[in-house]
């Protein structure tokens, strides 16, 4: 075990030394406008590849207990450490001190924890005492990787452009946090629609119950944080009343969604929020148009969710599945007189269910791209709102493709590979978010004896 840890710990120690590289509180005009060298471009591309794709793929393979999980995550850790060195070895343009550098040091902690837990779990010791909790901790840290990577990539982009300083910090926080929230909302909705219906049934809560709680809590925070003293501006009033709208509407949504009932209240709140944002007063024409498109897109997401709740899948979460069939969209026998009509309905539902989450992801991207500094830069470069908005939708297509690819990988890898082959005709929803373990499911199972498979990881290990 000591030899197994020597190389990783050595690399982490060197990475810590590299992370201590000095940043600048002030820059000369020459340093700030110097060209970006190839080393820095490689650093950005490498870290985006690792934290944006490699680690999320490794996380999914860990959840499904694929044998490719360990090699992929090990490669990702090695490339991360290499990327840290590149980030401090570049020449040319220099950058002011920002959150990107300190957060890079913070990221070394979960990397070290994940590495140490992974090595420990490979030893298959302390089966009845320590190992079950190590399995759980390993899974929690691994599932945090996409969030940590997203935050660090945002910090890197902000540092690269020199944004969010001085009076712009508050606006950056509002746009980036809420925009990321919409993207997370759309991602979770896609997971629930495609592979999470059985989990929702078992939880005994409708999706709108969870949505309403998040909206309520976020509304309470916004109500008391949007105004910072002094005279009330139009934006202060608009943002504060939106907070009130969220917690009052969220409370109604919680009440109506009790007892596993579907509700349209979260969708109505999203529509009203989009309408309000579409009419938000802005200084530049490009900013006005981007905010309007964001508002219309968000309202369209809420409207499409109402259609999904009321007309397409109103009974999806509150009706128990047919015995022996994990899929809520049942396969009809060939020759059934209503088979073609039912198949058409099912296909229409499958196609439509991507519209609400896609529009939410698009809303998040648009809102994150609508800060004064970003739109001021685009305006100075002579870019019109049409080009700018289409660029943001192009990014949305790429991001939503990645989300769906990860969900698809979950259905075909590791422990789900055999289930997928046996239920290929049943549809995507035949795959469970958690593997069933009989009438009394456990969150941990010990390693089997030598006569059985020797490489079985605990529940949720990744």
Question: In this predicted model, what pLDDT tens digit does every residue of 194-235 receive, in sequence order?
Answer: 888 888 888 888 889 999 999 999 899 888 877 677 788 877
Is 431 inside a domain boundary? no
Residue 260 lies in a domain: yes
> Are residue 262 and residue 407 in the same domain, yes or no?
yes
Are 265 and 137 in a shared domain? Answer: no
pLDDT by residue, tens only, the chain of 462 residues: 445 445 555 555 445 444 544 555 565 555 556 677 788 888 889 999 999 999 999 999 999 999 999 999 999 999 988 888 887 776 767 777 788 888 988 999 999 999 899 899 888 889 889 999 999 999 999 999 999 999 999 999 998 888 888 788 888 888 999 999 999 999 999 998 888 888 888 888 888 999 999 999 989 988 887 767 778 887 778 888 999 999 999 999 999 998 888 999 999 999 999 999 888 778 889 999 999 999 999 999 999 999 988 887 644 554 454 444 444 443 334 445 566 776 777 777 888 889 999 999 999 999 999 999 999 999 999 999 999 999 999 999 999 999 999 999 999 998 888 666 555 444 444 455 554 433 334 444 454 444 444 344 444 444
Is 81 contained in some domain? yes
Q: Are residues 140 and 194 in the same domain?
A: no
Contact 211, 302 (CB under 8 A): no
- pTM of the entire predicted model: 0.81
229 shares its domain with 363: yes
User: Would residue 4 count as lying in a domain?
Assistant: no
C-alpha closest to that of 78 among 150, 22, 123, 14: 14
Pair 43, 91 in one domain: yes
374 and 270 inside one domain: yes
In a domain, 3, yes or no: no
How many domains is the chain partitioned into structurally? 2
Do 373 and 256 lie in one domain? The reply is yes
**Are residues 254 and 362 located together in one domain of the fold?**
yes
State how far the Cα of 72 lies from the Cα of 68, in Å rounded to an integer.
6
pLDDT at 8: 53
The domain boundary residue, chosen from 162, 185, 200: 162
Domain-ending residue, one of 113, 138, 162: 162
Asked whether residue 363 is assigned to any structural domain, the reply reads yes
The reported pLDDT for the residue numbered 226 is: 73
In a domain, 214, yes or no: yes
Say if residue 155 is in the same domain as residue 184.
no
DSSP bridge partners of 308: none
What pLDDT is stored for residue 318 in this prediction?
47
HEC string for the chain: CHHHHHHHHHHHHHHHHHHCCCCECCCCHHHHCCCECHHHHHHHHHHHHHHHHHHHHHHHHHHCCCCCHHHHHHHHHHHHHHHHHHHCCCCECCCECCCHHHHHHHHHHHHHHHHHHHHHHHHCCCCCCCHHHHHHHHHHHHHHHHHHHHHHHHHHHHHHHCCCCHHHHHHHHHHHHHHHHHHHHHHHHHHHHHHCHHHHHHHCCCHHHHHHHHHHHHHHHHHCCCCCCCCCCHHHHHHHHHHHHHHHHHHHHHHHCHHHCCCCHHHHHHHHHHHHHHCCCCCCHHHHHHHHHHHHHHHHHHHHHHHHHHHHCCCCCCCCCCCCCCCCCCCCCCCCCCHHHHHHHHHHHHHHCCHHHHHHHHHHHHHHCCCHHHHHHHHHCCCCHHHHHHHHHHHHHHHHHHHHHHHHHHHHCCCHHHHHHHCHHHCHHHCCCCCCCCCCCCCCCCCCCCCCCCCCCCCCCC
What is the pLDDT, as a whole number, of residue 342? 67
In a domain, 287, yes or no: yes
My answer on whether 180 and 98 are in the same domain is: no
Q: What is the pLDDT of residue 216?
A: 95
- Residue 181 near residue 417 (C-beta atoms within 8 A): no
Q: Which of 162, 186, 210 is the last residue of a domain?
A: 162
401 and 347 fall within a common domain:
yes
**Do residues 152 and 268 both lie within one domain?**
no
What span, in angstroms and rounded, lies between the C-alpha atoms of 360 and 236?
Answer: 24
Range of the domain at 75: 32-162
């Amino acid at each position: 075990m000591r030899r197994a840890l020597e190389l990783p710990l050595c690399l982490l120690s060197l990475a810590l030394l590299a992370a201590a590289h000095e940043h600048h509180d002030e820059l000369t005009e020459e340093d700030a406008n110097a060209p970006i060298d190839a080393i820095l471009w490689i650093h950005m591309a490498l870290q985006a590849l690792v934290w944006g794709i490699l680690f999320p793929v490794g996380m999914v393979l860990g959840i499904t207990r694929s044998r490719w999980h360990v090699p992929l995550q090990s490669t990702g850790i090695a490339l991360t450490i290499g990327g840290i060195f590149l980030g401090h070895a570049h020449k040319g343009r220099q950058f002011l001190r920002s959150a990107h550098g300190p957060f890079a040091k913070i990221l070394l902690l979960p990397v070290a924890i994940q590495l140490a837990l992974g090595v420990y779990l490979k030893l298959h010791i302390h089966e009845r005492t320590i190992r079950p909790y190590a399995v759980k901790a390993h899974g929690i840290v691994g599932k945090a990787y996409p969030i940590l990577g997203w935050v660090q990539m945002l910090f890197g982009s902000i540092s690269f452009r020199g944004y969010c300083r001085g009076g712009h910090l508050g606006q950056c926080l509002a746009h980036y946090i809420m925009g990321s929230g919409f993207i997370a909302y759309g991602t979770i909705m896609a997971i629930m629609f495609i592979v999470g219906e059985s989990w929702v049934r078992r939880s005994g809560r409708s999706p709108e119950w969870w949505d309403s709680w998040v909206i309520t809590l976020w509304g309470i925070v916004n109500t008391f944080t949007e105004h910072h003293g002094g005279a009330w501006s139009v934006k202060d009033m608009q943002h504060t009343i939106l907070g009130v709208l969220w917690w009052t509407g969220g409370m109604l949504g919680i009440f109506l969604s009790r007892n596993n009932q579907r509700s349209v209240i979260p969708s109505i709140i999203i529509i009203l929020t989009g309408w309000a944002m579409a009419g938000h007063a802005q200084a530049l024409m490009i900013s006005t148009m981007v905010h309007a498109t964001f508002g219309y897109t968000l309202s369209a997401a809420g409207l499409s969710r109402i259609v999904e709740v009321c007309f397409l899948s109103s009974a999806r979460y509150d009706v128990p599945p047919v015995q022996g069939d994990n899929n809520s969209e049942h396969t009809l026998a060939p020759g059934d007189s209503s088979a073609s009509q039912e198949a058409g309905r099912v296909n229409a539902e499958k196609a439509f269910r991507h519209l609400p989450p896609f529009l939410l992801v698009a809303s998040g991207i648009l809102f994150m791209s609508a800060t004064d500094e970003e739109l001021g830069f685009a305006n100075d470069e002579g870019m019109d709102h049409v080009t700018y908005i289409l660029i943001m939708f192009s990014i949305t297509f790429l991001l939503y493709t990645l989300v769906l690819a990860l969900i698809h990988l979950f259905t075909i890898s590791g422990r789900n590979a055999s289930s997928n082959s046996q239920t290929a005709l049943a549809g995507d929803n035949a795959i469970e978010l958690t593997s069933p373990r009989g009438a009394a499911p456990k969150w941990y199972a010990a390693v089997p004896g030598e006569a059985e498979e020797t490489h079985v990881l605990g529940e949720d290990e990744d």
